[in-house]
Structure 1
Amino acid sequence: MVVNNLLDVDEEILMESQTQDQTPTKIVEVLEDQLGKVELNNEGIYEEMTHNLAVQARSFDAAQVSEEDMTYISFISESNENSVGAVEVLADGVKIPDAANVSIALPNRISDDIKDNNMTDFRIIVIVYNDSRLFQSAQFINDSSGRRPNSQVISLSVPGLDRVELDEPIVTTFIPIEISETNRNTTCVFWDFVLDGVGGWSTEGCTFVNGSEDGSDRQYCECTHLTNFAILMDFHQLSSLPPAADVVTIVGLSISIASLFLTLLTFVSKKKFRKSEPKQILCQLCLSLLGLYIVFLAGIDQTEDKNWCTFAAALLHYFLLSSIFWMSVQAVKMYYLLVKVVNSHVSHFVFKACLFAWGFPVIIVLVSVFIDHNSYVYSAKYCFLTLQHMYYSVAIPVALSLLFNMTVFLLVLHSLSQLGKNTNQSRGKETRRSGMLMLKNGVTITAVLGLTWLIGFFSIGDASEVMLWLFCILNSFQGLLIFVCMCWK
């Protein structure tokens, strides 16, 4: 009852007490210690429940557990809106009920640890806290992500095995307290009583296994030790643009699609263009961008069907990377034409370029899908990579491509400047003029296509709305830019 009353105390008071002498978590330790000693009934059970707290202590025979054909010993708490539910044992093989806000499953191999410690029987203590009030941590005060606990807290302990590293992890599940599109990045944590000298939430030994990005379904965690568990989530206030932004995007992409078709038609209709490798490369870039824009318009918001949403997001990822890689191919071709010059012919260059720019993105997308196919549903509104996965599967390839392209462009610029010194040769002047035009177009397209995608990674924070508008406008009209650069006379 004392602990239950403490859970009604104002959080600021509890935070101050935790900072000064760690009283709240000392009380948690005392509670666990008392449940390890409390007298059990004839069935080997002690249990109590209040609206803030539910506890159960249950005795198990080590030999019996090791002989039973079970994988996990599971506990659940079916809570209502305002209070925790009683701790119950879940029968082996039974699905976790939808009403269970938290659950914890202890592998039966715990019996091996029991035997190693010469214990003939053991007691499992499970405590469910309605919220994290007793686990106050100053580590989130200055966290710009808005990170904080977003679940009930469930504790499982076995007296005598407090510091044992388990060979097989325990599995915990949580239904987030707040379910919103602003929730991001679930992190599985446990309460470390000695962290930074005052206690805090730690991820050591805990891994997030599965669950939706916005916390709209059950979140699964695995940990290799026993203690108090919860989940943390970021609470970004997502910036949103007015409906006019949707109009700008649709109009811009429609114009870009028409412009790219015109660009392709121009190149295909002229024989000299069809035989030009630089123009063939540009045609491949146009095709990639067409795929990107069409899939974007058709599939970015198709979140009703998760499988279709994942497929659309994977296609967007593929065409984005392909577009970036075709720009790198364009830079390589420019290097051979304007820098190397001597022995610059590469047999079947376009074919090899196709293997790279069309094939390599397939590998990246397949690896991303294999690692976590759920990462392709960003939220309830959009089908694209989650922000966390975008950094390694989009940002890194884009950044490396941009770095490579800019390096090549500098080499080309240096080569053209050296060529321009010989002004007596008309051929040199002509080569320099055409080279400068090619360089200008390459830099323009690369800068706009590449740098604007990087803008998307800075759309969190005070400048979010400005960044989103830039991202929206510049990316929507990329096709028009290519048409103006390459076909406008």
Structure 2
Amino acid sequence: MITNVCLGISLLSLLLLLPVYCFFRDLWRSTRIFIHGNLVLNLIATYITFLSGIDSNKNEVCRFVGVTLHFTLLSLFMWMMAEAVFIALKVTKPNSTKRNIPRYYLIICYGVSVVIVVITVAVDIDNYNTTNPCWLNIETGAIYAIVVPALIIIMFNTAILIMTLRTIYIKSRSRLPRSEQKQNESTLKTVKATLFLVPVFGVTWVFGPFAISKESRIFEYLFDILNCLQGLAIFIVYCLLDVEVREQFTKWRARRKRLKDAKSVSSQQRLSMEEKGALVSHKGCSAAKEACNPQIDSTKSLQNRTSSGDGTFNVEINYANKLST
């Protein structure tokens, strides 16, 4: 029960991360974010498979769950290794992009995982349990088909990242252009974040196989605690603290502000144009009325002349009245 709650918390944290990657589409142009995306998807698949089928009582379903968990966990560790390799290549050979092509990572990470699973199945199909727990069989030694690769990748990643840190510090002591200094600072933050996640990932799923098999309560408690932290740690490191995600968020806010300012200016200009148009049309109507009704002008002149006290004009009016009668 506690394991399910902890996995649920981590799963929720990872599901919050996916919309961020989907919303900022420019992030997918980055090979590093591509690696993060695949890593997160494999972890989500692992959690869903574990929560939905680890306690299955159906033989074939249970075996399928075991095979799926084996594959997704191997892929997870391979994508961890892919990130370490990517960072190392970025630091040691910053101008070389031929090796950092996403399809190479896809082929290697999923290819190696498939090969290990196929070999495990080919050696003995009973390497996967058909009863609870639906996992690799400890009695046949099949459990080491996940423990050994995981330990190798953890040691490899740690060594690679420490060497990368050393290279960055050596470069930082030398005089570099401003652009390269910023690149080094950004890479340093990435390496530190990845080093932080290596034990979180690695230790969790090294204890995991033993916790699932209920070999010891200690492994089970450690697995539960680390699983609670795993999803949250990934969300914080890959989203809240990630340099590329924060840059995209800053650009999005600036773009929104520009659009808002542009709409405000355009609405003001439209209002000003409407006011000018109304004024012009009012003047045009007044001029048209005066041109089409000359009697108005004559009436106005009559009123002016009458009010001016012109006696001659009054006599003319009286004489005209007599003639009309």
Q: TM-score range by the shorter chain?
A: 0.5 to 0.7
Q: C-alpha separation between the residues in 2 aligned to 1:373 and 1:458? A: 20
Whether contact under 8 Å (1:441, 1:485) holds in the other structure is yes
Check whether the contact 2:136–2:143 (CA below 8 A) recurs between aligned residues: no
Q: State the secondary structure of the residue aligned to 1:341.
A: coil
CA contact (8 A) 1:420 1:428 kept: no
Instruction: Report if aligned partners of 1:299, 1:309 keep a CA contact under 8 Å in 2.
Output: yes
TM-superposed deviation, 1:329: 0.6
Match of 2:24 among 255, 270, 276: 270
| 1:361 is aligned to 2:118 | no
How do residues 148-227 of structure 1 correspond to structure 2 at under 5 angstroms?
none
Distance 2:209 2:70 in 1: 15
Deviations 1:361-402 (A, max 9, x none): 112112111212222117x43100022434431111112111
Superposed, which structure 2 residues align to 1:104-115 within 5 Å? none
CA-to-aligned-CA distance 1:185-236 (integer Å, 9 cap, x gap): xxxxxxxxxxxxxxxxxxxxxxxxxxxxxxxxxxxxxxxxxxxxxxxxxxxx
Alpha-carbon offset, residue 271 of structure 1? 3.2
1:325 aligns with 2:96: no
* 1:267–1:424 CA distance, 2 compared to 1 (3 A): same
Contact 2:55/2:134 (<8 A) preserved: yes
| Corresponding position of 1:468 | 220
Matching residue within 281, 286, 292 for 2:46: 292
User: Partner of 1:389: helix, strand, or coil?
Assistant: coil
Q: Which amino acid aligns with 1:250?
A: N
What residue number does 1:258 align with? 12
If the length of structure 1 is used for normalisation, what is the TM-score?
0.46
Alpha-carbon offset, residue 340 of structure 1:
2.5
Identity %: 29
RMSD: 2.3
Corresponding residue number in structure 1 for 2:146: 394
Does residue 350 of the first structure (1) align with residue 76 of the second (2)? no
User: Higher helix share goes to which structure?
Assistant: 2
| Post-superposition CA distance 1:410-469 (Å, at most 9, x none) | 121111111221367433432232112111121122221112222346769xx9333321
2:252 maps to what in 1?
Answer: none
Deviation, structure 1 residue 353: 0.7
Report the alpha carbon displacement of residue 406 of structure 1 after superposing the two structures with TM: 1.2
CA contact (8 A) 1:455 1:467 kept: yes
Report the AA paired with residue 433 of structure 1. E
User: What is the alpha-carbon distance in structure 2 between the residues aligned to residue 270 and residue 471 of structure 1?
Assistant: 33
Separation of aligned partners in 2, 1:254 and 1:468: 16
Contact (CA 8 Å) 1:310, 1:383: kept in 2 or not?
yes
**Match in the other structure for 1:411:** 163
Counterpart position of 2:132: 381
Contact 1:456 1:468 in 2 (8 A): yes
- The residue identity in structure 1 corresponding to 2:218 is V
Query: Matches of 1:475 and 1:329 in 2, distance apart?
Result: 22
Task: Check 1:261–1:423 CA distance in 2 against 1; reply closer, same or farther (3 A cut).
Answer: farther
Amino acid at match of 1:384: W
1:429 to 181, 188, 202: 181
- What code does the residue aligned with 2:64 have? F
Question: Larger RCO: Structure 1 or Structure 2 (Cα < 8 Å, ≥ 6 residues apart)?
Answer: 2
CA–CA separation in structure 2 for the residues paired with 1:288 and 1:372: 25
Q: 1:340 aligns with which of 90, 93, 98?
A: 93
Residue segments in structure 2 that go unaligned for 5+ positions in a row: 242-325
1 CA distance for matches of 2:141 and 2:19?
A: 37
Give, in angstroms, the shift of residue 260 of structure 1: 1.6
Q: Which runs of 5+ in 1 are unaligned?
A: 1-245
The residue that corresponds to 1:486 in the other structure is: 238
Q: Which amino acid aligns with 1:381?
A: N
1:273 shift after superposition: 1.0
